[in-house]
A and B are shown apart, each in its own frame.
Chain A
Amino acid sequence: MNLQLTEEQELVIAMVRRFVRDEILPLELALDPDAEELAPEDNARLVAMTKEMGLYGLDIPPEFGGPDIDLVTRTLMAVEMAQHRAGLYVPCYGTFGGAGLAQLFEATPEQQEKYLFPTLRGEKRGFFGLSEPSGGSDPARAIQTKAVRDGDDWIINGGKLWISGADKAQYGLVFARTANDKGRDGVTCFIVDTDTPGFSVRRIVHTLRSARYATELSFEDMRVPASNILGELNKGFAIANDRLTKQRIPYAAGCIGVAIKAQEMALEYVPQRETFGAPLSSRQSIQWMLVDNEIDIKQSLWLTLEAAAKAERGEPFRKEAAIAKLVATEAGGRVVDRCMQMFGGLGVAKDLPFERWFREMRIRRIGEGPSEVQRHVIARELLGSSLR
């Protein structure tokens, strides 16, 4: 793997870095420590800037109007975009735009007209409804939401848990069992309008992540037309699985960005802070924490870039994505924890971002497949699919 960044990559990274430091960090000083959004006028101004930079809608394929950015550069950008207080879950407060639900790029022309294009224009929002109270780590087997055919429609009953953004969405992708087969070959993905009778956002699920909450959904005799099936009947799990694999790379990158920022703050602080007549930086215990942080950051970064490079080349990258997700989420937690320790009391105060990162980073070892599932994915790749 070539470890030298191209000139174009260097330029893009520098541009994003300046954007975070000159535009995001100053605004963040005035926001609540748990804020997840900017004031509307600030948001509009910064979105105009990212459009001017040619970097808006980063994850939209070029044929749909997005910037043509390779996955390695995209990963490096994700690392930069996470380097602020809200950066783990709301990098740059969404001012680089989103792709909506990437699965819709494979939708029928009619579905794209109704759901994808309005989403890209910022007129509609969607949610991804996979996990259920029965379990999220093994969705193929855990899905109990059922859809039963009724003429040209399907009737869906069941519920979902840990779903982000459903309360503000106009539609969502809901995975339901459409065949009695208990495995993955019996799950179908439906596009569901949230104003469909029988659809309810029952509650907010409060977690360590105060700003961007999850919701619980219930479906009672929810009637969905057969034309709203995304992809093929009984083949919905492939859609979900593809998304889960791809998502692991930016998920890892966000953790690395926060770890880099935490380390940067610690490196600035420890030479200034004195204890017993000498700066903290002169203490071996502190030096070793910084060294361990650096090793954690470098390992995570290279493993994540390797996954991105393989994905970019069109090679299988399931194992590499799982390794990146596993290593970066665990390393990110360790780095933030060590930095809190170096800052002492200030490290746990809401004056500094460590306490938010600490809370949110803990979720990263569970979200998008916990560490144990990543190890299982890696083991299956090493030992073969006979390992269930």
Chain B
Amino acid sequence: MSIRLEKDWVAAADAVQRLAGNLGVYQLANTQGQILFIGYAGGNSAFGLKGVVRQALEDQADAAWVRWEVNTAYMSRYKELLMIHVHDHGELPPRNAPMALGKLRPSG
């Protein structure tokens, strides 16, 4: 499994149709491709990724693209994606609240 989330981006307008109720992680990006937010659909989510991403898109109207990964280890994967984002960009995505994270230095 790649450390980075390398799934194809899907237009926000199409994403909710294609999503199902699985657990997993997702990223939202704006029209310039900047990642705005990294989130997860956990065990308490009523409709998994479908419900969580739908709500996230309603809350963040400037999100144009979505990509996701179905993953039952959503918690460790979510933290990994945040740490990789900090490694690559020096900070969290702009819509993610500050949180205590570990430090990753991936080789690739």
Contact = CB atoms under 8 A, between A and B. Distances in A.
Interface of A: 32-36, 166-168, 194, 200-204, 206-208, 210-211, 213, 215, 218, 350
Interface residues of B, number: 22
Nearest to A204: B80
A211 B103 contact: no
Contact of A210 (B75, B104, B107): B75
A368 B104 CA distance: 25
Contact of A167 (B43, B44, B75, B83): B83
B98 to A, nearest CB: 11
A353 to B, nearest CB: 11
Contacts of B106: 202-203
A33 B74 CA distance: 11
Contacts of B103: 167-168, 194, 201
B107 A218 contact: yes
Secondary structure of the A side of the interface? loop
B56 interface: no
B104 A211 contact: no
Interface in B94-108: 100-107
Nearest to B71: A206
A7 to B, nearest CB: 41
B20 interface: no
B79 interface: yes
Interface string B64-103: 0000000011111101100100000000000000001111
B74 A210 contact: yes
A364 to B, nearest CB: 18
A211 B107 contact: no
13 contacts: A34-B42, A34-B43, A166-B102, A167-B101, A167-B102, A167-B103, A168-B103, A194-B103, A202-B107, A204-B79, A206-B73, A206-B77, A213-B80
Closest 4 CB pairs of A and B: A167-B102, A33-B43, A350-B43, A213-B76
Contacts of B83: 167, 204
A255 B72 CA distance: 23
A122 to B, nearest CB: 13
Contacts of A166: 102
B3 interface: yes
B3 to A, nearest CB: 6
B44 A200 contact: no
Contacts of A194: 103
A210 B105 contact: no
A128 to B, nearest CB: 16
Nearest to B103: A167
Nearest to B74: A210
A34 B3 CA distance: 21
A207 B42 CA distance: 16
Interface string B7-48: 000000000000000000000000000000000001110000
Contacts of A208: 73
Contact of B75 (A34, A202, A203, A218): A34
- A36, A166, A168, A204, most chain B CB atoms within 10 A: A204
- A36, A202, A207, A210, most chain B CB atoms within 10 A: A210
Given A201-B105, A202-B107, A36 B75 contact: yes
Contact of A33 (B44, B76, B101, B107): B44
Given A201-B105, A350-B44, 16 more contacts: A33-B42, A33-B44, A34-B74, A34-B75, A167-B104, A168-B100, A194-B103, A200-B105, A201-B103, A202-B107, A204-B83, A206-B76, A208-B73, A210-B74, A213-B79, A350-B43
Nearest to A217: B105
Contacts of A32: 42-44, 75
